Amino acid sequence: MVLVMIKSTLWRARIEVCPLCSATHTETLRLTIVVVCIGIRVSNTPKAVDIGTATTALYLLISTLRQFSIAERSIRDRKWKSGLLPAHDPPARTLGILGMGGIGQRFGEMAQALPMKKIYYHNRKPKADAPAWAEYVADFEEFLEKSDVLSIHCPLNEKTVGLIGEKEIAKLKKDSIIINTARGKVIDEAALIAALRSGHVRGSTLLGRLC
């Protein structure tokens, strides 16, 4: 049996115990395609899901602002408009994009068309080809304080595990929204639940990517 393991944080693919030569092969994925001796092709396709994930993030943004999920459950339970808070419109909300990579920029392009009141982004450094509608905020705490909607698009690594914790959530505006289409571990789950229960965070939508 051939066991293929891809560890995204190291950008490496490893074929353990090759049945042809009994060796262990390790090849870098930075060249995109690796062909090992048994003919298996391993590809790193970072842009393949940019549009799909960005579109999902856009749906989550609108759904959370307009409370689609709660409204649907209310109708199914025959409780017309029960438990709904006043909804928000995108033009009245400021969007903060954490991680302006391929997905983050695609999402920003879609959200800008709604439009949003303002769009900020935070990376380790300014994006050279950032669009005119996206304003870079270098200071992370200032970026959080400016955001009504925080949309997370950063990779998961040793530095981003628990990146959004109790302290960071407290910096967000009261009644804010958190969208996470990155990895689940980027957010401190207990801190997010506490903020939702306290009402500091109005709502949160998460794509099902736990690790």
Per-residue CA distances from 14 to 32, 37, 44, 208, 211 (Å): 14, 12, 13, 26, 19
**Domains of the chain and any CATH numbers:** 3-43 (no CATH), 51-206 (3.40.50.720)
Q: What percent of the chain has pLDDT over 70?
A: 77
What would the pLDDT profile of 21-46 be if each residue is shown by its tens digit? 554 444 443 433 444 555 556 666 77
Cis before 115 (ω within 30): yes
The pLDDT value recorded for residue 32 is: 38
Cα distance between residue 103 and residue 90, in whole Å: 19
- Bridge pairing between strands 41-43 and 176-180: unpaired
User: What pTM value is reported for the model?
Assistant: 0.77
Continuous H helices in the chain: 50-66, 68-76, 102-112, 140-146, 166-171, 189-198
Residue 9: what are its φ and ψ, rounded to 5°?
-70, -25
The pLDDT value recorded for residue 192 is: 95
What would the pLDDT profile of 97-142 be if each residue is shown by its tens digit? 999 999 999 999 999 999 999 999 999 999 988 899 999 999 999 9
Q: Are 127 and 183 in contact (CB under 8 A)?
A: no
Per 3-state DSSP, the chain is made up of helix, strand and coil in percentages (nearest 5) of 30, 25, 45
